[in-house]
Structure 1
Amino acid sequence: MAHDAAYHWPPELMALLTDTIPLLCRSKDDVVTFLRGAGTSEALLYRFRQQLAVDRSAVSKYKIAREVIRQLNEQGDQGLGVRRALLRRITEFDDFSMCWPDDQLKARGLVAQIREVVGVKDAFTRMQQERDRERDAHLADRRAVEDERRRRKALYADLRAQLTALFSMEDAQKRGLELESLLNRVFALDGIGVRESFTLRLEDGEAAEQIDGVVELDGQTYLVEVKWWAKPLDINPVSRHLSRLMTRADVSGLMISASGYSAPAVAECVQFLAFKVMVLGELRELVLLLEREESLADWLREKTRRAKLERRPYTVLDVDF
């Protein structure tokens, strides 16, 4: 595995360590012991122990320190723990009475320099690590956004395919039921609160009315009616939906038709705007939104805004806005 150069000793630090360790130790044996105390392996120190045992004059304190430091630095990640321990041992060194009297002042100065170099290097490493963390977090955010984009794209494509398939379905009743279920998923895709279709019944169990669905957006509840007729909806089915709204407080209406609306039906909704919000939509608008992967929530917001301010319950995407 490739090592991280940020954790290696730069040449200036290696030179300082080579000059400092011999000053902190009175004898050559003390240098070896100092290095061993920081975790340096016996295998690395064995040659110097042998040289000291045979001919102490053949090797100096500086040579021992220089060679061990060089080899520790060449160990890469394997020697990272020892390098850190050795630096910590030097930077935390505070009993200079153990040094030769003539070396004490110089040793103090060199230890101070090492502390400064290590401090700068650690600060750089921390900054680099923070930049790496920020980069990784940014990349993770980008991946999450891209994953969500792909997920939504797949959902839009699937819903569009299902909606398109309904046009070739001959069983009108089955088509209507599947359309209601499909529209619930379409609205839920864009974060619009959805309540599945339900039936209100009288005390004797007889069905009083069938509600295709309920959606909630920006705190506003819409009672939804879906119609797939061969011709534009006339005033009768629209009036029945308006009647349902009148029996419910603070509820708006949304109708979705596969065949548009007759002029009398639209006029009836215009008059109804004096009492409640009523929005008329077309199935082809939803198909277009799915093809474009555009927001159904924004579509409903815009149609509601125009119904309220312009008294136009029937506006069509790509025609009126």
Structure 2
Amino acid sequence: MGSQIFHFSPDFLNLLVDTIPKLCKSKKDVLIFFSSAGVSKKTLEDVSEKVDKDTNSINKYEIARTILVRLNEAGDDVLRERREIVKRVAEFEDFSRCWPNDQIAAMGLVAKVREMINSKDSFTRMQQYFNLKVEEDNKKRQSQEQARVDDLKHKRQKRQELRSELIALYQETNPHKRGKKLEPVLNRFFESENVLLRESFTITGENNEGIIQQIDGAIEVNNHLYLVEMKWWKEALSPGDVAQHMMRIFLRSDARGIFISESGYTEAAIIDIKKALSQKLIILFTLKELVLLLEFCRSI
């Protein structure tokens, strides 16, 4: 009995033969209707050739009947295609795509198809299929939504961990240890935000006092390369303190720049960078702002 569930009865097959041509303006459109429902090229091949070679040798109704009979005789191998054809007819709503003289008739035929699907005969099983399809679609959407929620939860957790690690760095008095701990934090921060790391963040040097760590790296955002420099200085960065990184940025024609400073910037440094904006995009922010950003993102 299962193999007969979606086999078209003679009266329903005739109803589809009458309906589908009304929904399609041309013979090509009828073929496209079946093709878009998943009917194989092999099933459509000879009919399509006949339309191409001598379009007057066959009409839309003969095309529909030929293909529907073939699908009906093919058994469970084309069960999905038969289901999809019925679904597309039953859900058809844009009757402006029909010929004007066919629109009223098409509406009536589609209504009759829906009525037969909803009837208490064998097509009740077909309605059960549609209900099952809706249930499957709902489960799929729920699964996708749960995956999105889980991903968001994971991101929040990672942001909280990064924020805690950044705050903990303020308690580290050894500049070398602090720098080594800051490297992976910066790398994981950009990776967690799906920012492509072109060059991982590494310590590149210390100032003469042996106190300040400089960490350099490169990221890619919207296909743009950003050279990033992080400094943990006691004093706000002066023009001379930002000059070396600005030189790196200007030496790369395709590069933009980001400064991250724990101690902020002098007014003179900000003025110099503003002057450079006419040629390069350069972004300034502090490490504390990064901590605040993670706090804000954690609440989203």
Could you state the TM-score of these two structures normalised by the residue count of structure 2? 0.53
User: Residues 199, 157 of structure 1: CA spacing in aligned structure 2 closer, same or farther, 3 A cutoff?
Assistant: closer
1:189 paired residue among 188, 192, 199: 192
Q: Indicate if the aligned counterparts of 2:186 and 2:201 stay in contact, CA closer than 8 A.
A: no
Q: How large is the RMSD of aligned CA atoms in angstroms?
A: 2.3
- The unaligned stretches of length 5 or more in structure 2 are 1-115, 205-213
Secondary structure, in 3 states, of the residue corresponding to 1:256? strand
CA distance, structure 1, for counterparts of residue 223 and residue 215 of structure 2 = 20
Count of aligned residue pairs for this structure pair? 172
Q: Residues 252-288 of structure 1, C-alpha deviation per residue, up to 9 Å, x if partnerless? A: 1111001110111111111222322211111111111
CA distance, structure 1, for counterparts of residue 166 and residue 130 of structure 2 = 53
Counterpart in the other structure of 1:154: 157
1:275 equivalent in alignment to 2:276: no
Secondary structure, in 3 states, of the residue corresponding to 2:123? helix
Q: Residues 178-226 of structure 1, C-alpha deviation per residue, up to 9 Å, x if partnerless? A: 22321121112111111203699xxxxxxxxx86100110111111100
Q: Residues 127-155 of structure 1, C-alpha deviation per residue, up to 9 Å, x if partnerless? A: 22112101211221121112112111111
Higher relative contact order (CA 8 A, sep 6+): 2
Counterpart in the other structure of 1:261: 265
User: Residues 249, 163 of structure 1: CA spacing in aligned structure 2 closer, same or farther, 3 A cutoff?
Assistant: same
Q: Indicate if the aligned counterparts of 1:180 and 1:212 stay in contact, CA closer than 8 A.
A: no
1:227 equivalent in alignment to 2:231: yes
Counterpart in the other structure of 1:242: 246
1:133 equivalent in alignment to 2:136: yes
CA distance, structure 1, for counterparts of residue 169 and residue 202 of structure 2 = 22
Secondary structure, in 3 states, of the residue corresponding to 1:212? strand
Between structure 1 and structure 2, the one with the greater Rg is 1
CA distance, structure 1, for counterparts of residue 238 and residue 183 of structure 2 = 20
- The unaligned stretches of length 5 or more in structure 1 are 1-112, 201-209, 296-321
Q: State the Cα distance separating 1:250 from its structure 2 match.
A: 1.2
Tell me which amino acid in the other structure corresponds to 1:260.
G
Tell me which amino acid in the other structure corresponds to 1:253.
G
Secondary structure, in 3 states, of the residue corresponding to 1:142? helix
User: Residues 152, 199 of structure 1: CA spacing in aligned structure 2 closer, same or farther, 3 A cutoff?
Assistant: closer
Q: Indicate if the aligned counterparts of 1:269 and 1:278 stay in contact, CA closer than 8 A.
A: yes
Counterpart in the other structure of 2:181: 178
Counterpart in the other structure of 2:113: none
1:144 paired residue among 135, 142, 147: 147
Runs of at least 4 residues off by over 3 Å: 197-200
